[in-house]
Structure 1
Amino acid sequence: MAKLGRTDIEIYPLVLGTNTFGWNTEEAEAHAVLDAFTAAGGNLIDTADVYSAWAPGNVGGESETVIGTWLAKHRDTQAMVATKVSQHPEFKGLTAANIRAAAEASLKRLGTEVIDLYYAHFDDEETPLEETVGAFNDLANEGTIRHIGISNYSPERVREWLDITERHGYARPVALQPKYSLVSRSTFEPGLRDLAVAEDLSALPYHALASGFLTGKYRTEADLKQSIRGDSAARHLNPSGLAIIEKLDQIAQARGVAIASVALAWTRTRPGIAAPIAGARTADQLGPLLASAELELTRDEADELTALSDVIGA
């Protein structure tokens, strides 16, 4: 278990991603996923107010609504919910007024009185950062949110955010959410990684399975047709990416686990990473993800994977 920033909160070694909830995971199945995740000890659920506005007929907030109906049946749960602001069609950007309105809308959908971890989803360079940081601080002081996170920001902007909190005595962020995996490392390393380590910010990366590529299901062009995520995984279908899959497969077979379990376990060997985010469309798909939380790679296993990843310069 890793700590959430400088708090005393311990995070299960896997964060449950829920961007399929209310899209291609119906409510009943989503509840089954949540049941299985929390039964295994999972305690942080990740969503965003924009999930899943991209789906035909959706308007955004569908994932939060599904989580809210589950929470209504589990009032005694110890699970925490992280959500995000800046991308919902009705609440674009990070002005103070927008952050407050979006938080109130998220609370209503979730059916809760407080958001456990609230992220600035994407940087809004048109709004003064002092205004954004001040708005998050106000929500924290009021008890509307418990903790603050920063997602998809550059190292320079995270540093600026931290400087503002120090200058004004504002609530400090506790988490970063970067894009990061064996085939996508440059957005986190080295800049954000170094900040995470130096400032005790828990990195909880998304894209940890690279749109399913790091499950090993895509090894040929024909395989890409198996899923709607095949197009996203296609960019990794090259000799370097397949060399990583081969090494993951070797380790997985030797350890008696799935390829996805090894890929997720590798992220936790990296400096600054507290736990990866991964989602399951169905409860049946959750097993390998949960297994990753129990898997500790040897130094040699981790180093071999890292070396292959370094080769592709991801």
Structure 2
Amino acid sequence: MEKIQINNTDLKIGRINFGGNVFGWTLNEQQSFEILDAFTDAGFNFIDTADTYSWWVNGKGGQSETIIGNWLKQRGNRKDMVIATKVGSETKQHGFDISKKHILKSVDESLQRLQTDYIDLYYTHFDDNKTPVEETLSAYDEIIKAGKVRYIAASNLSPERLVASFDVAEKNNLPKYVALQPHYNLVERANYEKDYLPLVEKHKLSVFPYWALASGFLTGKYRSEADFGKSVRGAGSKKYLNDKGFAVLDALDKVATKHSSKQATVALAWLLAQPNIGAPIVSATSQQQLQTLFDAPKLKLDTEDLALLNSASA
């Protein structure tokens, strides 16, 4: 298994980041354990979750971290895993919040649910757009010094707040974000490539795109509204049923056929071929889906493949 190092850290990861939003939602605990076992048996070690997953089920979240924590305890493999979780998201009980008070409270709750002494990568999940950047970073400084968190990262921050975070960290000797988790895939390119890529390159951030398969659209199984019933997330593909979306699917079909592969594998391989991309975040609810993910780092797209996909998705 090829592993890469997250920039500015000593964390080494496989090139697929398993998205834990399905734990406690579309997968119960036993099913989650089976998927996690298969994921690690294949040599992968990077799991992504959040303190609020899956809040849409019970209004507050915590199920995903709890399931991962139970699995880590039963398997006794914490030292072999890289665990990322997040803070600051909105639930029915509280709004977006990256205040020091909320971070200090939330990190302890996450550690308890995960049944671990430390979190490898701790994300600012969403920005509340009111807490001073220095306050947020000073909270992270405190929990890093306490050994509760190893490194910090950013997800849904505006480019302006991201810039401010690096400026304040530099001036005040506070922790700097080492990674970015943006919305980026073959049908969602413009925002990341225009607004975030220059910051990624300037600060040498590792990038872990979420919705790497565009809510399942890039698997090729949603080609009309009649297909939405194939999963609980099917309707999320509706916005991609347009000329651009169909052009991307056509390109994926051609490349997948050429390599005797799956559309999802090709879509992930395209991401992995982009500069600065460490490991796309993807979920699976079956062994068959997992294999599609596992095949992505092995698929090396050639110049012709990349040109076809780039043209269709531009």
TM-score interval, normalised by the smaller of the two chains: over 0.9
Q: Secondary structure at the match of 1:297?
A: coil
Distance in 2 between residues matched to 1:307 and 1:217, nearest whole Å: 22
1:7 CA drift (Å): 1.9
Measured in 2, the distance between the counterparts of 1:282 and 1:22 equals: 15
Q: Which one of 254, 276, 282 corresponds to residue 278 of structure 1?
A: 282
Look up the equivalent residue of 1:59 and give its one-letter code.
Answer: K
The CA distance in 2 between the partners of 1:249 and 1:34, in whole Å, is 29
1:154 is aligned to 2:155: no
Superposed displacement of residue 88, structure 1:
5.4
DSSP 3-state at the match of 1:121 = strand
Please state if 1:257 is matched with 2:258: no
Matched, 1:131 2:135: yes
Distance 1:210 1:88 in 2: 22
With 147-156 and 277-286 compared, the bigger mean Cα shift is at 277-286
Contact 1:16 1:45 in 2 (8 A): yes
- Contact kept? 1:53, 1:59, Cα under 8 Å: yes
What is the DSSP-based 3-state SS (H/G/I as helix, E as strand, rest coil) of the residue aligned with 1:190?
Answer: helix
Match of 1:189 among 175, 189, 193: 193
Residue number among 58, 83, 86 corresponding to 2:85 in the alignment: 83
Contact 1:82 1:118 in 2 (8 A): yes
Distance 2:157 2:174 in 1: 19
Q: What residue number does 1:11 align with? A: 13
Check if 1:32 corresponds to 2:34: yes
More moved, 101-110 vs 121-130: 121-130
How many residues matched? Answer: 309
Which shifted more, 278-287 or 174-183?
A: 278-287
Residue of structure 1 equivalent to 2:294: 290
Higher relative contact order (CA 8 A, sep 6+): 1
1:73 aligns with 2:77: no
Q: Which residue of 2 aligns with 1:60?
A: 61
The DSSP-based 3-state class of the residue aligned with 2:152 is strand
Q: TM-score, normalised by structure 2?
A: 0.95
SS class of match (2:179): strand
Provide, for residues 211-243 of structure 1, a one-character-per-residue CA deviation record: whole Å limited to 9, x for no partner.
Answer: 000000011221122222121101101122111
1:175 pairs with one of 153, 168, 179: 179
SS in 1 for 2:18: strand
SS of residue in 2 equivalent to 1:274: coil
Identity of aligned residues (%): 42
Q: Which runs of 4+ in 1 moved over 6 A?
A: none
* 1:103 paired residue number: 107
| Equivalent position amino acid for 1:303 in 2 | A
Shift of 1:107: 0.4
* The 10-residue stretch of structure 1 (221-230 or 121-130) with the greater mean CA deviation from structure 2: 221-230
Q: How far apart, CA to CA, are the structure 2 residues paired with 1:282 and 1:49?
A: 24
Give the Cα separation in 2 of the matches to 1:87 and 1:101: 14
Residue deviations 1:186-208 (CA, integer Å, cap 9, x gap)? 33112211111221110101011
Give ranges in structure 2 of 5+ residues lacking alignment.
Answer: none
Corresponding letter in the other structure for 2:135: E
How many angstroms apart in 2 are the aligned matches of 1:284 and 1:306?
27
Query: Who is 1:217 aligned against?
Result: 221
CA-atom RMSD in angstroms:
1.4
Deviations along 1:276-298, one digit per CA (max 9) or x if unpaired, are 10001233321101111211211
Q: CA deviation at 1:129?
A: 1.1
SS at match of 2:69: helix
Question: In the alignment, what sits opposite 1:21?
Answer: 23
State the alpha-carbon separation in 1 of the partners of residues 226 and 56 from structure 2: 26
Range 72-81 or range 206-215, more displaced: 72-81
Task: Show structure 1 runs of 5+ residues with no match.
Answer: none
| Structure 1 residue 76 displacement after superposition | 3.0
- Contact kept, 8 Å, 2:9 with 2:151, in 1: the verdict is no
